[in-house]
Structure 1
Amino acid sequence: MWNRISSWLRRAPISDAVDRRNAPVMQLLLLLYGVALPANWAWHLASRPIPEGWTIVLVLDLTTAALALFSVVLIRRGNFRLAIKLFVGALLASLALAYHKLGAHAQLIDQVSVILTLVISGLVLGRRALWTVFGLLLVVFTIGFVADATNTAQTAQWIRNSLRNAPSLVLSYLLITILLDRTLTALRESLAESNARRHELQLEMAERERAQAQLVHAQKMEASGRLASGVAHDFNHILDVILGFSAQRHRLPEDAGLAGQNAALADSLEGVEIAARRGTAITRKLLSFSRKDAPRPEVFDAGHALRELQPMLRQLFPPDVRLALEGDADPAPVRMDRSEFDLMILNIAANARDAMPAQGRFRIRIARTAGNRITIALTDNGEGMQAAVMARIFEPFFSTKSAAEGTGLGLAVIRDLVQAAGGSISVDSAPGTGTTFTIALPQARTETSDAGVIPEAAVLGPLAR
């Protein structure tokens, strides 16, 4: 029940963040004031008649209660400050009329309205409103003391009451006002400092995100540079194929007839088309990988993505290195940016290429594991790592290569990308036994088509150039 009431109170359409936080309490206070004040009068009048001269107080209290309820309506419509100003104004007007009618001495027994006016104006409306209300209250007190002088027959008694009550009354409310002012100032300064720190933190986070994006792009360009020589070599083969098929037009047998020549020419053009499509696929994949885009996480089959990545892996390794891609028959859906996934695989593969001897072997194994995780194990038969090197492998700027061969940021970037996707990465290595990087990613909740399934033990042969 309370949760529903609290939720209803918080749904007031107020734009200011501080006012929105104050709105639930103020609505409860106004509702309580609007209901309890008439109920209190009803309980008093049920047992005894209204005291002489207090009719004006009854009318003022009922009017203030009605305005309190109307202020709740204003808050529900988003006019928070207008509602509070109306209520505070109603309290001040009620106090002024009551002090004028009954005098200050008669009002000293009940100071709830005076304190409430000060507190609400200070806590909700601010310092300026607080001191404005304090000044108006001094006017109200003056009106009350003047009323006491008018209603008192003996001047000496009025002077005695005024000298006894007025200084202590003004001093008490001055101290309350100063305390509220200092407390409000401290709270608002603390809030301003907090907002400033939050703004600085947001700027710092945005700057870090830009730096991270630039770092990822730099790693992509570094990987693209490593691929460049392989791509150029492969394109020479593609161009040789195209030139070979094109040269066949000069070797068409003249005795084959027009139909035979057309058939031979069609076969040559088909070979040219296949070679051109292969070259187009390589350039499109390379351009897509190196493009600088904002991260766009998506759900895809990791096994299918690895199969699509094979042409780029072929460009990365020498011809005598064997590449093996193995995996379960089931789909392996993960959620992350596709180009960042490609960057992880290519970066680890590039490190494996540098660590492997001639006629090496690089194997990628993908599988589902317990806890709805997708694991990708990338293993090479390279020289391996010492324990001291393995302990620091993910540290930024740590590298066993020279400055011209690497920045030491590749594996640190990979670790950040894996962790951002909710996964983890580990390494297992020993000198002379090779290295295995294991990436574990959360399995995405989606259905993957059969086209994305990796065939069991789909092993590639030697990489041809």
Structure 2
Amino acid sequence: MPVPPHHDPAAPAPTGLGRRTDTLLRGLLLLVALYHVVFAGWLAYRTGPGLDRMVPAMAVLQVLLCALCLVEHHAGRSVRAATTFVLAQLPLLMLAYGYWGLAALMRLQLGQIVPMLLVAAVLGHRTLSWAAAALCGLQLLGAWVDASGAMFRGDRLQLVGTDLGVGLFGVLLTAWLLHHSVTGLRESLQMAQQRSQELARKRDELQVEIQERERARDQLVHAMKMENVGRLASGIAHDFNHLLGLIQMYVAKAGRSQGEPQQAALNGADAAVRRASAVSRRLMDFSRLEAARPQLLDAAATVNGLTPLLEQMFPRGVDVQVDTGGVQRLIHFDPAQLESILLSLAVNAQQAMPEGGRFTLALQPAEGDQLLLRVEDTGVGMSEEVRARCLEPFFTTKPIGQGTGLGLAVTVRLINAAGGSVQVHSQAGQGTQVHLRLPSRSIGPAAA
């Protein structure tokens, strides 16, 4: 079958022979043709006019056979070329052994039988066996010719027997060596292909595992946000109660008033509704499961906008201090993720101060163009062993069912992805300080 125009040269040949085997076959055919041409020329030079005409005739036939097989090989029919070579060698060798006998061809046996057996080995074990048996039969034919030419004399028969034994041994040994060599090469190739397929399968499994881990990581980030949403639910409900109370008050006032006071009451109700919508929208944005959307944020404005939620989170015994320090810097971060990080740290601080204390969230410039977000509490703190492991995923000191151990681990991943760093300082009984460093730039005319 011809090779398709867009056939990949690295792929196995469609004829059943490998790419390297095709190269071997082509080189072997060229060498056999060259061998017969050179040998016939050398005999003609040594013998002169007395050269047996059978010699150039056999050389021409061998060259024509090799040329035909090369044409088949070039057309992409490698199996047909190899089969043609083996089948055509049988009548040619039969003619040679029948004409010259075994003894005359003993010295030429290497150039006669090895190419045929080598090509037969390429075609398979069965073809090699038939070719070796046929060559043994031809050896017997040549021995018969030698014996009959010697009139079956006893001394000549002994020489013929010796030649026949050597010839048969050479054929069988060559066939045996080629069989085991080709079989070993094929097994090695098969093992290499199996290994390649196994590596490809492992690669695919690794890619699937990486994708699964990415999905699991995103789900864990969302789980952390939803955990914080649950803790904020009571504070959000408290804000809504106040807002709804204002709305009811303004509506009642509008019902009792006439003219301009009524309009003012309705305006107040409208403003309260807008505030209630803003709180609702913030809660939905915070809990939405979407890919990160980093953008330039005014760090101070973001922290100030989070202040009401922080105040609702802590009980009355905790003093909440939010200090932006007049910092005017922009950071490149996803606003929902930044809120999630700060609220998660606030939740940890709230749980570390059951008896009350002070929670501080402050901004201040750091070395270079970095911005430091400092989150501190005066709670129970951490031992050195706990502090050393607090950033590890799934590490938690909380009772079973009350913590996942993912808050700080997710915080570290998100901050590192933005080019920042996280440091935790804590001692038992002396509170905890978490320092978040992020790249920033000053708010200037260009940024505005």
Instruction: Give the TM-score normalised by structure 2.
Output: 0.65
Residue 162 of structure 1 corresponds to which residue in structure 2?
A: 164
Deviation by residue 1:128-152 (Cα, 9 ceiling, x = unmatched): x632342343255256436636865
Secondary structure at the aligned position of 1:427 is classed as strand
Residue 219 of structure 2 corresponds to which residue in structure 1?
A: 217
Structure 1's 38 and 279: CA in aligned 2 closer, same or farther, altered over 3 A? farther
Residue 69 of structure 1 corresponds to which residue in structure 2?
A: 74
Is 1:283 aligned to residue 277 of structure 2?
A: no
Answer yes or no: is the 8 Å Cα contact 2:364–2:371 preserved in 1: yes
Is 1:134 aligned to residue 132 of structure 2?
A: no
TM-superposed CA distance for 1:238, in Å, is 3.1
Secondary structure at the aligned position of 1:381 is classed as strand
Answer yes or no: is the 8 Å Cα contact 1:60–1:94 preserved in 2: yes
Deviation by residue 1:59-97 (Cα, 9 ceiling, x = unmatched): 1111222233223xxxxxxxxxxx553454344345445
Residue 447 of structure 1 corresponds to which residue in structure 2?
A: none
Answer yes or no: is the 8 Å Cα contact 1:352–1:382 preserved in 2: yes
Secondary structure at the aligned position of 2:111 is classed as coil
User: 1:235-274 counterparts in 2 under 5 A?
Assistant: 235-252=237-254, 256-257=258-259, 260=260, 263-264=263-264, 267-268=267-268, 270-271=270-271, 273-274=273-274
Range with greater deviation from structure 2 (262-271 or 131-140)? 262-271
Secondary structure at the aligned position of 2:399 is classed as coil
Residue 49 of structure 2 corresponds to which residue in structure 1?
A: none
Residue 321 of structure 1 corresponds to which residue in structure 2?
A: 320
TM-superposed CA distance for 1:434, in Å, is 3.9
Q: 1:435 aligns with which of 407, 427, 433?
A: 433
Secondary structure at the aligned position of 2:177 is classed as helix
Answer yes or no: is the 8 Å Cα contact 1:379–1:437 preserved in 2: yes
Secondary structure at the aligned position of 1:251 is classed as helix
Residue 374 of structure 2 corresponds to which residue in structure 1?
A: 379
AA partner of residue 277 (structure 2) = R
Structure 1's 226 and 54: CA in aligned 2 closer, same or farther, altered over 3 A? same
Residue 4 of structure 1 corresponds to which residue in structure 2?
A: none
Deviation by residue 1:203-238 (Cα, 9 ceiling, x = unmatched): 466357536634652453244223324234224423
Is 1:54 aligned to residue 59 of structure 2?
A: yes
AA partner of residue 434 (structure 2) = T
Q: 1:102 aligns with which of 75, 90, 96?
A: 96
Residue 361 of structure 2 corresponds to which residue in structure 1?
A: 362
TM-superposed CA distance for 1:275, in Å, is 2.8
TM-superposed CA distance for 1:54, in Å, is 1.2
Answer yes or no: is the 8 Å Cα contact 2:254–2:266 preserved in 1: no
Answer yes or no: is the 8 Å Cα contact 1:33–1:65 preserved in 2: no
Secondary structure at the aligned position of 2:433 is classed as strand
TM-superposed CA distance for 1:169, in Å, is 1.8
TM-superposed CA distance for 1:100, in Å, is 4.0
TM-superposed CA distance for 1:276, in Å, is 4.3
Structure 1's 392 and 167: CA in aligned 2 closer, same or farther, altered over 3 A? same
Answer yes or no: is the 8 Å Cα contact 2:415–2:436 preserved in 1: no
Answer yes or no: is the 8 Å Cα contact 2:30–2:66 preserved in 1: no
Structure 1's 378 and 190: CA in aligned 2 closer, same or farther, altered over 3 A? farther
Structure 1's 35 and 56: CA in aligned 2 closer, same or farther, altered over 3 A? closer
Range with greater deviation from structure 2 (355-364 or 59-68)? 355-364
Answer yes or no: is the 8 Å Cα contact 1:95–1:140 preserved in 2: no
Answer yes or no: is the 8 Å Cα contact 2:330–2:441 preserved in 1: yes
Residue 300 of structure 1 corresponds to which residue in structure 2?
A: 294
Structure 2 gaps of 5+ residues are: 1-5, 45-54
Is 1:392 aligned to residue 389 of structure 2?
A: yes
AA partner of residue 435 (structure 1) = Q
Deviation by residue 1:295-330 (Cα, 9 ceiling, x = unmatched): x5x773364799769767853563643345687746
Structure 1's 279 and 195: CA in aligned 2 closer, same or farther, altered over 3 A? same
Structure 1's 97 and 204: CA in aligned 2 closer, same or farther, altered over 3 A? same
Structure 1's 362 and 53: CA in aligned 2 closer, same or farther, altered over 3 A? same
Instruction: Give the TM-score normalised by structure 1.
Output: 0.63
Q: 2:79 aligns with which of 81, 85, 89?
A: 85
Structure 1 gaps of 5+ residues are: 1-10, 72-82, 122-128, 442-451, 457-465
Hey, what's the Cα distance between the residues in 1 that align with 2:299 and 2:144? 94
TM-align CA RMSD = 5.0
TM-superposed CA distance for 1:158, in Å, is 5.8
Hey, what's the Cα distance between the residues in 2 that align with 1:23 and 1:304? 65
Hey, what's the Cα distance between the residues in 2 that align with 1:37 and 1:15? 27
Residue 399 of structure 2 corresponds to which residue in structure 1?
A: 402
Secondary structure at the aligned position of 1:380 is classed as strand
Answer yes or no: is the 8 Å Cα contact 1:102–1:147 preserved in 2: no
Secondary structure at the aligned position of 2:374 is classed as strand
Answer yes or no: is the 8 Å Cα contact 1:226–1:316 preserved in 2: no
Structure 1's 398 and 243: CA in aligned 2 closer, same or farther, altered over 3 A? closer
Secondary structure at the aligned position of 1:362 is classed as strand
Hey, what's the Cα distance between the residues in 1 that align with 2:145 and 2:306? 101
Residue 47 of structure 2 corresponds to which residue in structure 1?
A: none
Answer yes or no: is the 8 Å Cα contact 2:323–2:362 preserved in 1: yes
Answer yes or no: is the 8 Å Cα contact 2:295–2:335 preserved in 1: no
Q: 1:172 aligns with which of 153, 165, 174?
A: 174
Q: 1:145 aligns with which of 122, 133, 139?
A: 139
Indicate the percent of aligned positions where both proteins have the same amino acid. 13
Answer yes or no: is the 8 Å Cα contact 1:99–1:107 preserved in 2: no
Hey, what's the Cα distance between the residues in 2 that align with 1:40 and 1:402? 87
Hey, what's the Cα distance between the residues in 2 that align with 1:402 and 1:423? 33
Hey, what's the Cα distance between the residues in 1 that align with 2:29 and 2:126? 25
